[in-house]
């Protein structure tokens, strides 16, 4: 089953064309290699909460997108507001994804503890925040990739028993 996926890059400089985004393409490449995902939408927005919320809400409420990965805006900088914008949009938290990403990333760098990434559900869409670094985004995706198809199938209403 192909899970329709969107990638939202959150970057002031990227949205102005002052910096080429590498994390969004890194996430797309790995998802497509996995075979269970089809990236059907990509967008770059500034670190403005209203822009982030508008993009997330539009994709979630379309009913087409099963998974949204955001990249950037998860640190301590005053403009890093992706978690707050995400929390304003989600209806149910899904903390395990961000917890695993931080836990596994701490084995690589102590800087992982400054990640404020969150994950949650709006309607039938799962939203997960990723770091803005291409290397860190790829690593974090690897940590959770195997759980994503099952999570998305359950979110879409799969009635099978999880213990099967």
pLDDT in tens, 19-46: 899 999 999 999 999 999 999 999 999 9
pLDDT of 105 reads 98
Q: Give pLDDT, residue 162.
A: 72
DSSP 3-state of 118: coil
CATH number for the domain running over 3-155 = 3.40.980.10
Q: Could you tell me the CA-to-CA distances from 84 to 11, 74, 92 in Å, in that order?
A: 15, 9, 14
Distance of alpha carbon 22 from alpha carbon 82, whole angstroms: 18
Distance CA 100, CA 17 (A): 32
| pLDDT, position 158 | 86
- Note the pLDDT of residue 60: 98
Low-confidence ranges of the chain (pLDDT < 70): 163-164
Burial 89-105 (b: 16+ CB within 10 A, else e): bbeeebeebbeebbeeb
For the whole model, what pTM was predicted?
A: 0.96
Quote the pLDDT of residue 164: 55
DSSP 147: G
Element (H, E) at 26: helix 23-34
- Where are the alpha helices (H) located in 49-164, listed in sequence order? 49-61, 82-89, 96-106, 134-144, 148-155
């Amino acid at each position: 089953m192909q899970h329709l996926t969107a990638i939202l890059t959150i970057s002031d400089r990227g949205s102005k064309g002052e910096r080429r985004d590498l994390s969004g393409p890194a996430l797309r490449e790995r998802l497509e290699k996995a075979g269970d995902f089809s990236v059907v939408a990509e967008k770059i927005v500034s670190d403005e909460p209203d822009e982030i919320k508008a993009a997330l809400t539009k994709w979630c409420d379309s009913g087409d997108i099963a998974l949204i990965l955001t990249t950037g805006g998860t640190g301590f900088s005053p403009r890093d507001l992706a978690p707050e914008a995400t929390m304003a949009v989600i209806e149910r938290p899904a903390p395990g994804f961000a917890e695993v990403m931080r836990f596994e990333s701490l084995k690589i760098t102590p800087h992982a503890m400054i990640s404020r990434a969150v994950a949650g559900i709006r309607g039938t869409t799962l939203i997960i925040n990723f770091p803005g670094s291409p290397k860190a985004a790829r690593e974090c995706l690897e940590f959770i990739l195997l759980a994503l198809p099952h999570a998305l199938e359950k979110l879409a209403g799969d009635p099978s028993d999880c213990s099967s």
